[in-house]
Amino acid sequence: AYSIILEPSDKIALADPSYPCYKNFANLLNIEPVFINVDASTNYQITPEHLEGLEVKAVHISSPSNPTGTLYDEENLKNLCEYCKERGIYLISDEIYHGLVYEKKERTALEFWDKAIVINGFSKFFCMPGFRLGWMVLPEELIRPAEVVIQNVFICAPTLSQYAALGAFDYNYLSQVKQTFKRRRDLLYQGVKDFLKIDAKPEGAFYLWADVSEYTQDSYQFAFELLKKAKVALTPGVDFGKNNTHKFVRLAYTRKEDELKLALERLKEYLS
């Protein structure tokens, strides 16, 4: 999407914290990322107020978000679409975790603006991360530029992956997958909230963003020591930006429940 709509030296607004590959893709194309500090006060969402006064050509959001698991609510998503529409700013909405939302209802940016660019794929909800298969919804005027880029980068998605994906639309099974992740989310959230501060309960995806400032001011060293001494792996917050991320870690509930229980026991013992 970046290579379709942006030129070198153009600016794109990204949340901090956010998925680190966004800024890496921007840097690869000599596009300048403009980081917007987000926190629990907006449920880790970029709002139109954040964008006031910024000279950006595009805004990139993700809902649910990696690393926080928070979801863009309907009102803010609508307002964000209106803001970008009125100012001629491209809006890219990464919706790869749609389907893995546990209480609320996920909303697509396309409900509020038909010019929004939506990214999705089979890696998360459809449980096919190794098949490297996804899609992008574009306004009609961007389809040909997208074709030009795609045919020079990877031509097409692998044939084997496309055939495999035909078997992925088993929504009875996928509903069980969703409930499995919800149980894991509840288990992990209930297990850590008494000794780690969670300022935004995850609403989707499979991540939990935890404040460890009571124990450390260096999330990287904390994660390294936890791995070495307690044999528990988590991701230091500094991987996701610079906005107080030295105080945070990301926990993922992608393992089985018995493994999560063991990890909780080890984590609690390590911190006691």
Q: Tell me which of 165, 182, 206 is where a domain ends.
A: 165
Q: What are 172-201's pLDDT values in tens digits?
A: 999 999 999 999 999 999 999 999 999 999
pLDDT at 115 over 90: yes
Cα–Cα nearest to 110, from 128, 123, 124, 98: 98
Mean local confidence (pLDDT), 22-39: 98
CA distances from 129 to 69, 73, 125, 126, 210 (A): 18, 26, 9, 8, 25
Position 50 confidence tier, pLDDT thresholds 50, 70, 90: very high
Task: State the pTM of this model.
Answer: 0.96
Q: Tell me which of 120, 150, 165 is where a domain ends.
A: 165
Say if residue 100 is in the same domain as residue 208: no
Position 155 confidence tier, pLDDT thresholds 50, 70, 90: confident
| Rounded Cα–Cα distance for residues 267 and 100 (Å) | 26
pLDDT of 154: 85
pLDDT of 103: 95
Say if residue 109 is in the same domain as residue 205: no
Say if residue 254 is in the same domain as residue 150: no
CATH label of the domain that carries residue 177: 3.90.1150.10
| Rounded Cα–Cα distance for residues 87 and 73 (Å) | 21
Contacts of 29 (CB under 8 A, 6+ apart): 2, 3, 6, 8
How many helical (H) and strand (E) elements, i.e. helices and strands, does the chain have? 9, 9
pLDDT of 251: 98
Say if residue 42 is in the same domain as residue 137: yes
Say if residue 161 is in the same domain as residue 175: no
Say if residue 138 is in the same domain as residue 179: no
Structural domain count, the chain: 2
Tell me the pLDDT of the chain averaged across its residues: 97
Q: Tell me which of 165, 190, 218 is where a domain ends.
A: 165
CA distances from 51 to 3, 23, 37, 176 (A): 22, 18, 11, 39
Structural tokens at position 85: 């529409």
Q: What is the residue range of 246's domain?
A: 171-271
- Amino acid identity at 160: L
Say if residue 107 is in the same domain as residue 222: no
Say if residue 197 is in the same domain as residue 129: no
Say if residue 117 is in the same domain as residue 207: no
Q: How many CB atoms lie within 10 A of CB 244?
A: 15
| Rounded Cα–Cα distance for residues 205 and 112 (Å) | 22
Q: Are 31 and 58 in contact (CB under 8 A)?
A: no
Burial bucket for residue 105 (CB in 10 Å: 0-12, 13-18, 19+): exposed
Q: Are 269 and 199 in contact (CB under 8 A)?
A: no
Kindly report the length of the chain: 272
Say if residue 37 is in the same domain as residue 106: yes
Mean local confidence (pLDDT), 30-35: 98
pLDDT of 234: 97
Say if residue 46 is in the same domain as residue 76: yes
Structural tokens at position 71: 């979801």
CATH label of the domain that carries residue 66: 3.40.640.10
| Rounded Cα–Cα distance for residues 76 and 82 (Å) | 10
pLDDT at 156 over 90: no
| Rounded Cα–Cα distance for residues 45 and 73 (Å) | 9
Say if residue 61 is in the same domain as residue 25: yes
pLDDT of 37: 98
Mean local confidence (pLDDT), 119-147: 96
